[in-house]
Amino acid sequence: MLPAVAVLSSLGVIGWLIYRAARGKPFKAHTIAYAVAIITGVFTAAYFLSMDIPQLIKILVSILLGMALIVLGAYLQRRYQQQQQNKS
């Protein structure tokens, strides 16, 4: 049942993009990124909900670790950019 919902949702998002193209609205980068995020989120939710619990815990821990690394990378990049601006 969940894969069917994921497929129908992704078809809906693709249909939404086609509808925007038919109306003549230009695609911007954030629109495409939003559509890709929706599709991957739906497929990820469908995949995670069909897992057994111990494997789900491993995946959840890896997601949280990935989020922490992304935040750390963004923090370090912002700090580096501020140091570069202070030098000039």
Question: Per-residue pLDDT for 11 more than 70?
Answer: yes
Rounded CA-CA distance 69/62 in Å is 10
- The percent of residues in the chain predicted with pLDDT above 90, rounded, is 1
Task: For the chain, give the mean pLDDT.
Answer: 81
Rounded CA-CA distance 64/46 in Å is 18
Question: Per-residue pLDDT for 7 more than 70?
Answer: yes
Tokens linked to 67: 């989020």
Q: Whole-prediction pTM value? A: 0.47
Question: 10 near 39, Cβ under 8 Å?
Answer: yes
- Residue 27: phi and psi, rounded to 5, are -85, 130
pLDDT higher at 31 or 78: 78
Predicted confidence at residue 58, as pLDDT, reads 76
